[in-house]
Amino acid sequence: MFELRNVTKSYLTPNGRRYIFRNLTLAIPPGKNIGLIGRNGAGKSTLMRLLGGADVPDSGTIATDRSISWPVGLTGGFQGSMTGRDNIKFVCRVYGATGDSMREKIRYVQDFAEIGDWIDEPIKTYSSGMRSRVAFGLSMAFDFDYYLIDEVMSVGDAQFKRKCADVFQQKLKTSNIVLVSHSMPEIEKLCDVVLLVKNGGIQVFDDVSEGIKAYNS
């Protein structure tokens, strides 16, 4: 579960401070797949980063008792001049997977991303598709209670997409997701509770179709 208490978040722009959320307090029930919907720039991705601890609010607290992934498919964290294997090792060490479990994760990512011996080439030589396949595989190699997904369900070709969907179905049996998406069918298919981010506030809908209706109106 997540609990937000008095959360305020703002960004500094050249024209002054812009508030994304002001004094937000809400609780999200445990064991649910969470969908974040809202217009562009409403603050969905910010909320997701706040939930994941990758960003911190100006004031207030966000509490959770679950393990939360980094944003699935995060490619910005890769160091371009290092090889794919080194980048995977780096993340493994950050998450405490060393020795055999590290080797196993590297093999998993290599197989999953279908990059073969490209794994020993620097990341900057990869095509963008390869890079996101590695990033997605890396996220799937670790087990979390919540996976944070920011509109990256669509990497690679049709075959790879099917593979992603399969592994995702596996993961969903034991884990939950926080999904940011503009695709309502996807939200409807995957999520149990919808958070509509609108005008600096958040409405929680336990009924997904009702949330989508509120978003469309």
Instruction: Report the interface residues with other proteins, using CB under 8 A.
Output: 9-12, 52-58, 68, 70-71, 74, 76-77, 91, 94-95
Please tell me the distance from the alpha carbon of residue 38 to that of residue 41, in angstroms, as a whole number: 8
CA distance to 56, 144, 146, per residue, from 95 (Å): 20, 11, 15
Which of residues 38 and 52 has its CB atom nearest to other proteins in the complex?
Answer: 52
Amino acid at 192: D
How far, rounded to the nearest angstrom, does the alpha carbon of residue 7 sit from its chain's CA centroid?
Answer: 20
Which of residues 95 and 160 has its CB atom nearest to other proteins in the complex?
Answer: 95
- Work out how close the CB of 79 gets to other proteins at its nearest, in angstroms, rounded to a whole number: 9
Q: Which residue has the tokens 């149990």?
A: 192
- Work out how close the CB of 90 gets to other proteins at its nearest, in angstroms, rounded to a whole number: 9
**Residue 194: DSSP 8-state:** E
Which of residues 9 and 105 has its CB atom nearest to other proteins in the complex?
Answer: 9
- Work out how close the CB of 88 gets to other proteins at its nearest, in angstroms, rounded to a whole number: 13
Which of residues 94 and 165 has its CB atom nearest to other proteins in the complex?
Answer: 94
Residues ≥6 apart with Cβ < 8 Å to 73: 132, 135, 136, 139, 149, 150, 152, 155
- Work out how close the CB of 11 gets to other proteins at its nearest, in angstroms, rounded to a whole number: 6
